[in-house]
Chains A and B, each alone.
Chain A
Amino acid sequence: MAKQTFTVGQVLTAAQVTSLQQTAMLGGAAQAKTASYTLVAADAGTAISMTSTSATTITVNTGLFAAGDTVFIQNLGSGNLTITAGSATVSTAGSLILPTNDAGVLYFVSTGVSIFYDFIQVGAASPLTTKGDLYGFSTLDARIPIGANDTVLTADSTQSLGLKWAAPASGGITLISTTSFTGSTLTLSSIAGTFKNLYCEITGLYGDSTYQDVNVRFNADTGSNYDFGRFGSQGTGTDITNSAAQTSLQIVSSGTNSGASEKSSAFLNIYNYAQTSVPVVFMGFGRGKQDTNFKSVFINGQYRNAAAITSISFIASAGNFSAGTVKLYGVN
């Protein structure tokens, strides 16, 4: 029932009271519309029901409604219905675009100022449309379309949604060299500073009858620049060695009589090896035959010299290497 102006002594019929009740409960008979429509004064207190397969509008003008008037608007059509400010203002905290089966109440603060209370608030309806889409935000909730295969989601403040799908940054591990052990010292030299970290992998290493341990030096530096802690474990027990200002670091403890059947292996990670501002840190594991037991060693420490590492020497503490391979990798 449209808004009424009642007079003193007026008698309402049961049908009128029922209609007023329905209107107060946002129900009752609605004015069916099938095309864009401009509200008129008589729409105050009524329901407008739009049914259209095309996009339509409800236009709101000033000078027709009083403060406190309301119009219930619903969209039953497949085309979007847009509440459009004509000469009146229309504000909303939701959306002025009503998709199918959305509705809301247009409330007049004054004759020329209205607020539309959208029943489906922004965010209540998903903007996602496609497999893999993500829920994003610019100034409103928005869809981040799924990217191409093998791309990764990357923050980018220049994008409207602050994110983009992009090829992953290059990285990985590169084999720099593969070298066989011979002699009593093996030096890998001219290591380019183009990687972030270095990774050395030693396999199948053994030596002659006097061969024992393997020590490592950087840049052939025999100064007291190696600080490290070493935790060794073997069948007969464990030992912890904290060594500061050493002239090399020991990566394999083999003991004597470590023949072909008792090969050592080890790896050594050297972090941020090309910088010169702080000590280069390293960490590694080694395993060798110590008397009758295999001994594993964990070592971590720092090389305390302000120089980029360009060479690594593996030094037999006694005797000579008989066989074994070291692979040097660059890691980004």
Chain B
Amino acid sequence: MNSIKEVNVQTGVEKEREMNASELKQYEIDKIKTEAIQAAIVAKAQAKAELLERLGINADEAKLLLA
């Protein structure tokens, strides 16, 4: 299902093939890592929103407080 397209930009020759075992392994590693990064960003944003709610201030007021 996971294929790689390789293009030699000097000759214009294109090849499409399935990932080999090591490429597939790397692909899965990358996928997990990306998901973790995205999850961290979402979690951070969520934590921030929850904290603001608990404090009863909005983001602009928080900026003012920290300025």
Measured CB to CB, the residues of A under 8 A from B are 176-177, 179, 181-192, 212-213, 215, 222, 232, 236-237, 239, 241, 247-248, 250, 253, 255, 315, 317-318, 320, 328
Q: Given A183-B3, A184-B4, A177–B9 Cβ distance below 8 Å?
A: yes
Interchain CA distance A222-B29 in the complex, whole Å? 10
Interchain CA distance A248-B26 in the complex, whole Å? 11
B9 contacts A248, CB within 8 Å? Answer: no
B3 contacts A189, CB within 8 Å? Answer: no
A320 contacts B2, CB within 8 Å? Answer: yes
Interchain CA distance A248-B27 in the complex, whole Å? 11
Q: Given A184-B27, A241-B41, A318-B31, A191–B9 Cβ distance below 8 Å?
A: yes
A186 contacts B31, CB within 8 Å? Answer: no
A185 contacts B45, CB within 8 Å? Answer: no
Nearest CB in chain A: distance from B34 CB, A: 4
- 7 inter-chain pairs at a CB distance below 8 angstroms, sorted by A residue, are A176-B9, A185-B27, A186-B7, A190-B10, A212-B34, A213-B34, A215-B34
Q: What does the 1/0 interface line of B1-38 toward A look like (CB < 8 Å)?
A: 11111111111101010010001001101110111011
B5 contacts A247, CB within 8 Å? Answer: no
B29 neighbours in A (Cβ, 8 Å): 247
Nearest CB in chain B: distance from A329 CB, A: 11
B3 contacts A188, CB within 8 Å? Answer: no
B10 neighbours in A (Cβ, 8 Å): 190, 192
- Which of A184, A250, A318 has the most CB atoms of chain B within a 10 A radius of its CB? A184
B34 neighbours in A (Cβ, 8 Å): 212-213, 215, 250, 317-318
A189 contacts B31, CB within 8 Å? Answer: no
- Which of B5, B35, B38 has the most CB atoms of chain A within a 10 A radius of its CB? B5
Q: Given A236-B45, A239-B45, A248–B7 Cβ distance below 8 Å?
A: no
B59 neighbours in A (Cβ, 8 Å): 237
Pairs A-B, 7 closest by C-beta atoms? A183-B3, A317-B34, A177-B9, A185-B4, A184-B2, A190-B8, A187-B6
Interchain CA distance A318-B1 in the complex, whole Å? 11
What residue of chain B has the Cβ atom nearest to residue A179's Cβ? B7
Give the contacting residue for A182; candidates B16, B23, B27; CB below 8 A.
B16
Nearest CB in chain B: distance from A313 CB, A: 8
Give the contacting residue for B7; candidates A184, A189, A232, A253; CB below 8 A.
A189
Nearest CB in chain B: distance from A198 CB, A: 10
Interchain CA distance A277-B37 in the complex, whole Å? 31
Interchain CA distance A131-B38 in the complex, whole Å? 64
Q: Given A177-B12, A236-B45, A239-B45, A187–B30 Cβ distance below 8 Å?
A: no
A232 neighbours in B (Cβ, 8 Å): 41
Interchain CA distance A265-B12 in the complex, whole Å? 23
B7 contacts A187, CB within 8 Å? Answer: yes
B3 neighbours in A (Cβ, 8 Å): 182-185, 320
- Which of B1, B35, B41, B45 has the most CB atoms of chain A within a 10 A radius of its CB? B41
B14 neighbours in A (Cβ, 8 Å): 179
Give the contacting residue for A317; candidates B5, B30, B45; CB below 8 A.
B30
Nearest CB in chain B: distance from A328 CB, A: 6
B8 neighbours in A (Cβ, 8 Å): 189-190
B26 neighbours in A (Cβ, 8 Å): 222
Q: Given A185-B19, A215-B34, A328–B2 Cβ distance below 8 Å?
A: no
What residue of chain A has the Cβ atom nearest to residue B26's Cβ? A222
A247 contacts B30, CB within 8 Å? Answer: yes
Nearest CB in chain A: distance from B61 CB, A: 15
B4 contacts A239, CB within 8 Å? Answer: no
Contacting residues of chain B (24-62) with chain A, CB-CB under 8 angstroms: 26-27, 29-31, 33-35, 37-38, 41, 44-45, 59
